Each structure stands twice: as structure tokens, then as C-alpha cells.
Structure 1
Amino acid sequence: MFKWFRKKQKPGGLIRRLFQLGPHSEGFYEKLEDALIEADIKASIAMEISDELRNSSQAGKLSSPEELRSFVRDVISQMILTVNLDPENNDNAIYLVLGVNGVGKTTSMAKLARRWLDAGRSVSFAAGDTFRAAAVDQLAVHAGRLGIKIFQQGQGADPSAVIFDGLESIKAKGEGILLADTAGRMHNKSQLVKELQKIDRVIRSKVDDPSYRRILVIDATTGQNGIQQAEVFHQALGIDGIILSKYDSRARGGLALSISRTLGIPFAYMGTGEGYGDISPMDPEALVESIMSAIEG
């Protein structure tokens, strides 16, 4: 699935040119920082990576481009956070799925449902994005294809009420996973935050914290704007993990590094296609290789 990252990498032209400049020249650090920023890594973190090399006692001992690449790779690896958010037992669990419109939120929910259905779990949807009728319809289509129940009400209904109904149902059954959709209209941030916080209060009144997870979906090709999205949702609710959607050979990976380092949010899954099976636990090695490939051009 990740063949473009799995091949053994040799240093590209940039790493070789950097090595020729030598890790003691200002030109070396300037070009390295520029390359990191081009890979969607936040400027302050690019400087941090550069300073790590500048201040390392190993910098002057690097004897080949391969060693330089390995050093940069190791520094980046230490900054990336991952987490396993697959349910561990047969108790009730709710996953509140967050994200702005257009990031692949509904598709990611369907992928998670298929993953957990295949593992023998009972899964249902709650159509909490009542702001858009199309969002409810799209989730209902996925529910039909997957053969699972969906809790829904009319457009404009209180999303907290929809999710409450779903929670009551899975509690009555004694087991099951509820995947709850939410609105993502960032053009009215304050209204969105208030709505999400209300949903959060309703869920916390019904479910113990270990059974409640908040997952944010971010488009891997978004770039630096993805950091702002993560910051808004994290400040509003606190995010347990991120799904990096649309993660293919176009993705640079630096966005994940920036979010991990800046906000301390781990990455849980990577979506790599449109099919229900195109989701996997976040592979940190694949992510690092995508960043290195972007750095090297």
C-alpha cells in the first residue's frame, strides 16, 4: 500500500548538495530550513530541526550524505506522535468525528466502521451534522452499504439530540461503537465551537471518559492551514488523535510533524484511497519517509 515510501531511500540531490556545503556553514542551515518549510513543516520547527543539527556534537563527524540523511531522519522521527485508537474491548464506545467540510470526514467514518465491523464489533452512525442535509444523506448512503444503523433527524435538528439517541441505543444493547458526525462550518467559528462543546457535555454526561474519543480528520494536502484547523478543534474539545486523509504520493507529511510538535496531538490513522479498506493505523516510518522525500525534492 505504501510502496512509494517503502523503497530503501538514497540521499537525493538536495542532501548531497547540503553535505558538500558542510554542516558548519550558514548556507547549509539556510537551505535545510528552506527545504523543510517547502515540505509543509512550520518555520519554527524547521529552525528547531536545523538547530538540533547545528548544536549536535555529531554534526562535524558526518562523513557521507547517507549519514546526513540518517541524522535528519532521526531528528524528525523523534518529533512525530502516534496513537492506537482502535477499541480494545467489547464495551460501549463513542467516537466523535470532527473536521472542516471537504476533508473526507464522512468517508473516514465509513472506513473506520468497516475496519471495526471486520473485527467483529457492532457499529452504528449518528448523523450529527444536521446543518447540511447533504451530509446526512451521504452518511445514510454509507450506512446502507455497510448494513449498519444510522441515527438521524431532519435538517436543522439539534445535533446533541441525535447523538444522545445513539448513545441511549448502544447503552441499551450493552455493547457497540457509535461513530458520530459533526458540522465543520469554519466560517462561523464561534458558533461551531459552542455547538461542539454542547455535544461534548451531552456525551460526557452519558459515557465514561475511557470510552469517549475525539478524532479529527485533516486533509494531508491541506498544508499549513491544517495546523489552524487542529488548533481550533483542540482548544474547543481536546483531540485524542488525528486521521490524515487523502494521504498518497502527493502528501508531503510535514503537516503531521508540525501538528505533533506544536500541539502535541498524535496521529492515529492514515487514509490512502476511496475504498472502505483504504485506512490503516498511522505508520510513523512511512510518514517520515514521505517528509524526507519532500525535503529532497
Structure 2
Amino acid sequence: MNAYFSNSARTHAEELLPVVIEKPSHYTMSTNDSDDTDRLEQYIRDEKGHLDSCESMVELANWLYANEYFETNDREIPTSDLKEILGDRLEYGVNTLLDHLEGINVVDEVSQGGGRFILHERTGRAFFDPNNREMLPLLEEEISRFLEDLHEQESQAPESEDAGDDKTQSIADGGEIEDADSDETDETDAGGEKEPDDVPTTLREVAAAALDVEVPLEDALTNPTDHIERIIRFDDVVTAVIESDEVGRGRAYEPMGWRNAANKWVLTMTAKARKENESLS
């Protein structure tokens, strides 16, 4: 578990751009089928040489070795990152290659302690135990940041409304309403569709639409005694705010909720030993 949390402290950029070791002392690259100095490559060819994807398997295994994704040094890489980094360089799909290499004990899928976990995205902390009380202060902090943003945006709203009131007052004082463009056609008369009037345009409206509850937004986020329910509600709200084209965030807060554990991979100790021509016993 501690190993996983240490991994989560790494940034996503570090995972996407692993350090490639140029000509490491422990690395040999064999490109000739008859060259048996690289025991790992030879082993893969012996086991999977009948498959057209064999050379792509060798390339993937060599890449994992060169970038030191080993069982012994706490470096793991998700399937999604392998696809992003190597997808255009390999002739066959990453999932297919990993399945073949796992079948001959060249790579191993790292267990994450469960299929789902709660992720605090702003800090990257992951909680596999939903009853872990350490997550509660993080949840309260995120909700507090959101509510502060909500109230700050609402306190600024009257300024824009006052501008609209000034225009209304000038008309009431004898001003004329500007004529609509004579070239414009009434959408209703032309059979066109009008823009819906109920599209949420404020932070509160977007958040309320995401929750669809009949209580004030503040109560919906803070009153449930079940902290998991509060997490789910907060996650839905912030996700809706991020995806909305009508509103934005004025403070730093990020989603927090259930996530699926990504499959992560390493080169096995046996494969590393073969690569370095060490004894397998």
C-alpha cells in the first residue's frame, strides 16, 4: 500500500515521459535472431517466434528494461501510458503484446489492492479503504473551497445586474428600444429551433442541476451524515462545473470521488535476470 502511495506522488508528466537511459551498462540490444547474447530477446523469440507480433514483444520488453520498470525498484507504468508512448511505434496493440508477455512471465500486472479507490485529485492521494478517516479533512477542504467560490461569484453578480437595470431605466425615461435587424428572420416563424431558456448559466445553477435535489446546495453538500454520499455529490458537482461552457472556477478545487484502478506493468525479476545474463536460480 505504501508503495502505491509513493507512486501516486509522481506527476502524470513523469509517467508519460520516463527517463530513457542511453546505453546503460547493463543493457544490450540484440537485433539478430541468431545472436544469443541477449537471453531475454532469445527467450521471447523461442516462446513466441511463431507469432507475427514477436518483434513488437521484443521491442516492448526492451523499452521496459531500458526505462527500468522493474519489480524491484518501485517503478510501474499504466497501460494507458504505454499506449500513448509506444502506440505509434509498435505494429501490434499494446494490450495484445502485454497479454503474450505476461503469459511467458516477462511482464507482470501490479496489484493495486482493489479495483476501485477514492482519489483526491488536487493532491493525488488515493484511498482504497472508504472508511479511512484521513480523507475527511480533504473532503471538507474541497467543499469549503467550492462554497467560497460560489458565494464570491454570487456577490459579484449584482454588479452586472445593475448594468442591466440602468439600461431598463433609460428606456423608462423615454429612451427608445433599438430596432432589430430587419434582415433577421424570426426563428420560430422560419421553423428553426430556439435556444433553450433553461440552460444553467451560473455556478449555482450548474451545481444544482448536477445534484437534482430539493434542498439548498449548501445543505446538499454538507448535511449528509454519510461521508461517501458527500463525496459522490461533491464529485458530481465539480465535474459538472469543469465540463460546463457557461461557468468557470474562481478558486482551486478539484474532483474527489471513486475511480477505477489502472492496470500497471513491470518487467519481472526473471526477465530482468535473463536480460542481464544472470542466473535464474
Q: TM-score, normalised by structure 2?
A: 0.24
Structure with higher RCO (Cα < 8 A, 6+ apart):
2
TM-score, with length taken from structure 1 = 0.23
Larger strand proportion of the pair: 1
Which of the two has higher C-alpha Rg?
2
